[in-house]
Chain A
Amino acid sequence: MKHKLMLGRYIEGQSLLHRLDPRSKLASMLCFIAAVFLINSYVTLFIGLVFTLIIIVLTKIPLSYYIRAIKPLIFLIAFITLFHIFFHTEGARMLKVGVFSIYSGGLEKGLVAAGRMTLFIAFAAVLSFTTQPDRIANALGSFLRPLKRLGVPVERLTLMLSLSLRFIPTIFEEVERIWKAQVSRGFSLADQPLKEKAKRTIALLVPVTSSAFRRAESLADAMEARSYRLGASRSQYRQMLWKRSDTLFVLSFTLPICLITLFN
């Protein structure tokens, strides 16, 4: 596979972001989503962009990884941008193409929407690149714990979440392996008509799905063999430790929120 999906992968590292408590990263992610929702002009978009770039630099992961994470979604972003550009009629008319007119307001809305989307993906990538999936699930579990009193099956939810997060890279690997098995015996997507390409891609889905079910089954067996029981009290392999740097990290996200509100 030439374009390996990057979003959702964990990338080993020793940076500050890697060492932070997963809870602080998740909390600041929520802050960041709030901040990004507030963005609605070039200036505020610029603030969001600068802040994201600072975070990206702190992860010590090359920018090219983030670009590869955003790439698969580029068409969606382009679609949203064009939608805004063609259907907003605010501001001064800048250009007329056939029945469509482009207005400065529409252009700004479109570009800002594209920027917002990009920032979302970039920050989701920051979270996934620097945090192992099971730690994200742990963090979410500890956030949801208060809901237990209200009768929400928190443990079941976190287990489901951590298992599905755990399986993201496994399924990628599975796809890659079956792809390799097919390629090594003469399978090729190049110089095939589009219909055949679609057919062959679907042919990849069948073995991947069946092997995913098999894996799920053997995982259930393995958990049962070790007497896994929902609701049993258990300790964690990696204790979550909230440090001062975590408090500082979350607090630092008030800065973009304040700045963006101020300049709106």
Chain B
Amino acid sequence: MGITFEQVSYRYKERALKQHLALDHIDLSLKTNQFITIVGAPGSGKSTLLQHLNGLLRADHGTIHLLDMIISPSPAKLPKGLNQRVGLVFQYPEQQLFKETIWEDLLYGPLNFNMSKAEAELAAKKAAEFMGLDDLILAKSPYQLSSGQIRKAAIAAVLAAGPEIIVLDEPTASLDASSRLELMTLLHRQCQEQGRTVIVVTHALEEVAPFTDQIIVMDEGTIAFVGKPHELVNRTDLIDKAGLQIPAAYELYAALQKPLRLSKLDHYPSAAELAAAIKAAIS
């Protein structure tokens, strides 16, 4: 069981006459039950890739194996339960909430997936609690909330349906610094405690790197890199191309590595971990 892309290609048809391939014969193999990060320059195909996981976009060529499901190019039918098992949180969460109140929105998914009213309410309540949404927020309309609250509500609405894979498109945009860390920690918990697979698209390496098991770099519709975050940090060509920034703490550690004879890193450390290592070397 995993996520496998075999020679998947996709081209947007409506927008203009001659479009380059948004996905260009992608081969990718990922393990489930991991925290996966996708980075890349704008227009490199990240969002297109995500939408394939949920069946919103159908590949022109190639097959996607997802858990025990197989997604073939249309006109083949989408596997049953795909929408429930793969939850997609949109890049602009305000586009995702369409019911009159947040509470109704949380119930929308579970009710569609044939849960009974009681089950759906229980699932919605649990998701709301997990994302820290109180009753006051649940009774409001999406338009009355701050962008951070909308973001949380959108994620809760997806979690309520109980997906095995959660896919998030730039979930930390429009969040303040502490909420960003909080959100990533929550997602990481989903991964570790519930055994769910979390797939995140982001531009901020610093936010996700400490939690990430696998990082994927996309470039012009192709996969440029798959590996651990600390392996990516040395690939400056990719970092520049994808418009990423190496976290300051990591750069500091790298600069001090030789003079302080610090050990080589075999994982991506948190800032606190780096500070402790430097402290130990100095004293």
Contact = CB atoms under 8 A, between A and B. Distances in A.
Interface of A: 4, 9, 11-13, 60-62, 177-178, 180-188, 207, 214
B112 A186 contact: yes
Given A4-B14, A13-B16, A185-B161, 8 more contacts: A9-B14, A177-B90, A181-B90, A181-B95, A181-B97, A184-B54, A184-B87, A184-B90
A187 B14 CA distance: 23
27 contacts: A9-B14, A11-B16, A12-B15, A60-B17, A62-B17, A177-B90, A177-B95, A178-B98, A180-B56, A181-B90, A181-B96, A181-B97, A182-B98, A182-B108, A183-B56, A184-B83, A184-B87, A184-B90, A185-B87, A185-B108, A185-B109, A185-B157, A185-B158, A185-B161, A186-B83, A186-B109, A186-B161
A45 to B, nearest CB: 29
B83 A185 contact: yes
Nearest to A65: B17
A181 B96 CA distance: 5
Which one of B56, B157, B158 has the highest number of Cβ atoms from chain A below 10 Å of its Cβ?
A: B56
A184 B88 contact: yes
Contact of A214 (B84, B90, B143): B143
B113 interface: yes
B56 A207 contact: no
Nearest to A181: B96
Nearest to A186: B112
Nearest to A178: B98
A178 B95 contact: yes
Contacts of A61: 17
Interface residues of B, number: 23
Interface in B106-157: 108-109, 112-113, 143, 157
A182 B88 CA distance: 11
Nearest to B109: A185
A6 to B, nearest CB: 8
Contacts of B108: 182, 185
Contacts of A11: 16-17
Nearest to B51: A180
Q: Which 9 A-B pairs have the closest CB atoms?
A: A186-B112, A207-B98, A185-B109, A12-B16, A181-B96, A177-B95, A184-B88, A186-B83, A186-B113
Contacts of A177: 90, 95
Given A183-B56, A186-B113, A187-B112, A12 B17 contact: yes
B144 to A, nearest CB: 12
Interface string B74-111: 00000000011001101000011110000000001100
Nearest to A185: B109
B81 to A, nearest CB: 9
A182 B111 CA distance: 12
A178 B98 CA distance: 7
Contacts of B17: 11-13, 60-62
Contacts of B143: 214
A180 B115 CA distance: 21
Contacts of B14: 4, 9
A216 B107 CA distance: 29
Contacts of A12: 15-17
A11 B14 CA distance: 8
A11 B12 CA distance: 13
A9 B17 CA distance: 12
Given A11-B16, A12-B17, A207-B98, A185 B90 contact: no
A64 to B, nearest CB: 10
A181 to B, nearest CB: 5
Contacts of A178: 95, 98
A83 B209 CA distance: 68
A46 to B, nearest CB: 29
A136 to B, nearest CB: 19
Contacts of B88: 184
Nearest to A208: B98
A183 B83 contact: yes
A178 B161 CA distance: 18
Contacts of A183: 56, 83
Contacts of B56: 180, 183-184
B115 to A, nearest CB: 10
Nearest to B100: A206
B167 to A, nearest CB: 9
B140 to A, nearest CB: 15
A9 B15 CA distance: 9
